[in-house]
Amino acid sequence: MYQATSEVRVRFAPSPTGYLHVGGARSALFNLLYAKHNNGKFILRIEDTDQERSTQESLEMVVSDLQWLGLNWDEGVDPKTLKDIGPYGPYKQSERLDIYKKYAQQLLDQGKAYYCFMTDEELDAAREKIKAAGLHTHVESPYENKLMSEALERIAKGDKAVVRFKTRELRKEYILKDLIRGEVKFPSDMVGDFVMLRSDGMPVYNFCCVIDDYLMKISHVLRAEEHLPNTLRQLMIYEGLGWKTPEFGHISLILDDDRQKLSKRKGAVACDQFKKDGYLPSAMNNYMALLGWSHPEDKEIMSLGDMEAAFTLDRVHASGAVFDRVKLKWMNAQHLRALPNNEIWKLISPYLIEVGLKLPTDSDWQNRSVETFKSYMEILTDAVTLYSPLDDSKYEINMVESDEALKMESTKVVLQAWKELVAAHPTETFTEADFLAIQDAVKAKSGQKGKNLFFPIRVALIGKPHGAELKILVPLMHKKSILERAEKAFALINGKAGALC
Ligand code: GLU
Q: Kindly tell me if the per-residue pLDDT of 497 is higher than 50.
A: no
- For the stretch 146-166, pLDDT in tens is 999 999 999 999 999 999 999
- Is there an atom of ligand 1 within 6 Å of 14 CB? yes
* 391 contact partners, CB below 8 Å, separation of at least 6: 357, 358, 359
Per DSSP bridges, beta strands 194-197 and 182-186 are unpaired
Please give the number of the atom of ligand 1 that sits closest to the Cα of 24: 4
290: CA distance to ligand 1 center in Å? 21
Residues forming beta bridges with residue 165, ordered by sequence position: 113, 194
**Cβ atoms within 10 A of the Cβ of 208, count?**
24
- Is there an atom of ligand 1 within 6 Å of 213 CB? no
Per DSSP bridges, beta strands 174-178 and 182-186 are antiparallel
- Is there an atom of ligand 1 within 6 Å of 415 CB? no
Query: If you average pLDDT over every residue of the chain, what do you get?
Result: 94
294: CA distance to ligand 1 center in Å? 24
The active-site residue, picked from 264, 299, 327, 346, is 264
Q: Cα separation of 27 and 427, whole Å? A: 57
User: 143: closest CA among 173, 168, 172?
Assistant: 168
- For the stretch 292-312, pLDDT in tens is 999 999 999 999 999 999 999
- For the stretch 398-429, pLDDT in tens is 999 999 999 999 999 999 999 999 999 999 99
472: CA distance to ligand 1 center in Å? 50
Instruction: Tell me what pLDDT residue 4 has.
Output: 41
Length of the chain: 501
Instruction: Tell me what pLDDT residue 498 has.
Output: 41
Verify whether residue 264 is a known catalytic residue.
yes
Q: Kindly tell me if the per-residue pLDDT of 2 is higher than 70.
A: no
- For the stretch 20-40, pLDDT in tens is 999 999 999 999 999 999 999
Instruction: Tell me what pLDDT residue 494 has.
Output: 83
Sign of CA dihedral 69, 74, 79, 80: positive
Which of 66, 227, 237, 261, when mutated, tests ligand 1's pocket best, judged by the most ligand atoms within 8 Å of its CB?
Answer: 227
13: CA distance to ligand 1 center in Å? 5
15: CA distance to ligand 1 center in Å? 7
pTM: 0.92
- For the stretch 177-215, pLDDT in tens is 999 999 999 988 889 999 999 999 999 999 999 999 999
Which of 9, 15, 45, when mutated, tests ligand 1's pocket best, judged by the most ligand atoms within 8 Å of its CB?
Answer: 15
Q: Cα separation of 262 and 388, whole Å? A: 34
- Is there an atom of ligand 1 within 6 Å of 336 CB? no
- Is there an atom of ligand 1 within 6 Å of 47 CB? yes
Please give the number of the atom of ligand 1 that sits closest to the Cα of 14: 4
Which of 10, 19, 223, when mutated, tests ligand 1's pocket best, judged by the most ligand atoms within 8 Å of its CB?
Answer: 223
Where does 133-194 have alpha helices with state H? 148-156
Instruction: Tell me what pLDDT residue 500 has.
Output: 43
Which of 10, 65, 209, 238, when mutated, tests ligand 1's pocket best, judged by the most ligand atoms within 8 Å of its CB?
Answer: 209
Q: State the pLDDT confidence band at 259, using cuts at 50, 70 and 90.
A: confident
- Is there an atom of ligand 1 within 6 Å of 212 CB? no
Domains of the chain (ranges; CATH) run 1-93+252-338 (3.40.50.620), 96-251 (3.40.50.620), 340-394 (1.10.8), 395-493 (1.10.10.350)
Q: Kindly tell me if the per-residue pLDDT of 229 is higher than 50.
A: yes
Q: Kindly tell me if the per-residue pLDDT of 496 is higher than 50.
A: no
Instruction: Tell me what pLDDT residue 460 has.
Output: 96
Please give the number of the atom of ligand 1 that sits closest to the Cα of 11: 8
Greatest CA separation for the chain? 106
226: CA distance to ligand 1 center in Å? 10
User: 207: closest CA among 179, 184, 229, 235?
Assistant: 235
- DSSP characters over 435-490: HHHHHHHHHHHH---THHHHHHHHHHHHSSSSSS-HHHHGGGS-HHHHHHHHHHHH
- Is there an atom of ligand 1 within 6 Å of 18 CB? no
Q: State the pLDDT confidence band at 5, using cuts at 50, 70 and 90.
A: low
Q: Kindly tell me if the per-residue pLDDT of 368 is higher than 90.
A: yes
Q: What is the mean pLDDT of residues 471-490?
A: 96
User: 249: closest CA among 228, 274, 218?
Assistant: 228
| Single-letter amino acid code for the residue at 186 | F
